[in-house]
Amino acid sequence: MLDLAIRNAEIVTAADRIRAEIGIRDGRIVSIAEDVGDAKEEIDAAGLLALPGGIDAHVHLEQPQGGGVVMADGFESGTRSAAAGGNTTVMPFALQQKGQSLRDVVQAYHEAADGKCHVDTSFHLIITDPTPQVLGQELPALVKAGYTSFKVFMTYDDMVLNDAELLEVFDVARREKAMVMVHAEGYDAIRYMAKRLEEAGKTAPYYHAESRPQSVEREATHRAISHAELTDVPITIVHVSGRDPMEQIQWAKRRGMNVWAETCPQYIALTADDLKGLNMDFEGAKYVCSPPPRDSDSQKAIWEGLRDGTFDIFSSDHCPFRFEDAKGKDVEGARTSFRWVPNGIPGIETRMPILFSEGVSKGRIGLERFVALTATNPAKLFGLYPRKGSIAVGADADITLWDPEREVTISQNLMHHDCDYTPYEGLEVKGWPVRTILRGKTIFAEGEVMGARDAGVYLERGTSQAFGG
- Per CB under 6 A, contacts with ligand URP among 281-340 are 289-290, 317, 319
Q: Give min distance, CB of 352 to ligand URP, in A.
A: 19
Tell whether residue 124 is a contact of Zn ion (CB under 5 A). Answer: no
Tell whether residue 343 is a contact of ligand URP (CB under 6 A). Answer: yes
Would you say 337 and 284 are in contact if contact means Cβ atoms under 8 Å apart?
no
- Per CB under 6 A, contacts with ligand URP among 139-178 are none
Q: Give min distance, CB of 125 to ligand URP, in A.
A: 14
Would you say 432 and 49 are in contact if contact means Cβ atoms under 8 Å apart?
no
- Selection from Zn ion, ligand URP, none that 289 binds (CB < 5 to 8 A by kind) is ligand URP
Pick from 183, 227, 335, 417 the residue near ligand URP by CB under 6 A. Answer: 183
Gap between the terminal Cα atoms of the chain: 35
Q: Give min distance, CB of 413 to ligand URP, in A.
A: 25
Q: Give min distance, CB of 127 to ligand URP, in A.
A: 14
Neighbouring-strand partners of residue 149:
179
- Selection from Zn ion, ligand URP, none that 343 binds (CB < 5 to 8 A by kind) is ligand URP
Helix intervals (H) in 255-359:
266-269, 296-308, 323-326, 351-355
Tell whether residue 118 is a contact of Zn ion (CB under 5 A). Answer: no
Tell whether residue 124 is a contact of ligand URP (CB under 6 A). Answer: no
Summarize the chain as % helix, strand, coil (round to 5).
Answer: 35, 25, 40
Number of residues lying near Zn ion (CB under 5 A): 2
- Report the alpha-carbon angle 382-383-386, nearest 5: 120
d(CA 94, CA 281) in angstroms, rounded, equals 34
Tell whether residue 262 is a contact of Zn ion (CB under 5 A). Answer: no
Neighbouring-strand partners of residue 41:
4
d(CA 148, CA 270) in angstroms, rounded, equals 32
- Selection from ligand URP, Zn ion, none that 429 binds (CB < 5 to 8 A by kind) is none
98 versus 254: smaller Cβ distance to ligand URP: 98
**Beta strands, E only, 238-329:** 259-263, 313-314
Tell whether residue 318 is a contact of Zn ion (CB under 5 A). Answer: no
Pick from 239, 351, 369, 461 the residue near ligand URP by CB under 6 A. Answer: 239
- Selection from Zn ion, ligand URP, none that 416 binds (CB < 5 to 8 A by kind) is none
In this structure, the number of other CB atoms found within 10 A of the CB of residue 33 comes to 11
Q: Give min distance, CB of 159 to ligand URP, in A.
A: 8
Closest C-alpha among 461, 443, 402 to residue 82: 443
d(CA 381, CA 386) in angstroms, rounded, equals 11
61 versus 443: smaller Cβ distance to ligand URP: 61
Helix intervals (H) in 156-242:
163-176, 187-199, 206-211, 214-231
DSSP label at residue 358: I
Q: Give min distance, CB of 446 to Zn ion, in A.
A: 31
Pick from 312, 317, 349, 398 the residue near Zn ion by CB under 5 A. Answer: 317
Amino acid at 105: V
- Per CB under 6 A, contacts with ligand URP among 43-82 are 60
Closest C-alpha among 434, 433, 413, 436 to residue 425: 413
Of 7-15, 81-89, 316-324, 374-382, which part binds Zn ion (CB under 5 A)?
316-324
Would you say 345 and 215 are in contact if contact means Cβ atoms under 8 Å apart?
no
80 versus 183: smaller Cβ distance to ligand URP: 183
Closest C-alpha among 371, 406, 421 to residue 391: 371
Pick from 80, 183, 243, 335 the residue near Zn ion by CB under 5 A. Answer: 183
Q: Give min distance, CB of 24 to Zn ion, in A.
A: 33
Tell whether residue 344 is a contact of ligand URP (CB under 6 A). Answer: yes
What's phi and psi for 329, nearest 5 deg? Answer: -60, -25
259 versus 367: smaller Cβ distance to Zn ion: 259
Q: Give min distance, CB of 61 to Zn ion, in A.
A: 11
26 versus 158: smaller Cβ distance to ligand URP: 158
219 versus 317: smaller Cβ distance to ligand URP: 317
Would you say 62 and 74 are in contact if contact means Cβ atoms under 8 Å apart?
yes
Q: Which residue is nearest to Zn ion (CB)?
A: 183
Closest C-alpha among 454, 466, 432, 391 to residue 32: 391
Provide the binding-site residues for ligand URP, judged by CB under 6 A: 60, 183, 239, 289-290, 317, 319, 343-344
Provide the binding-site residues for Zn ion, judged by CB under 5 A: 183, 317
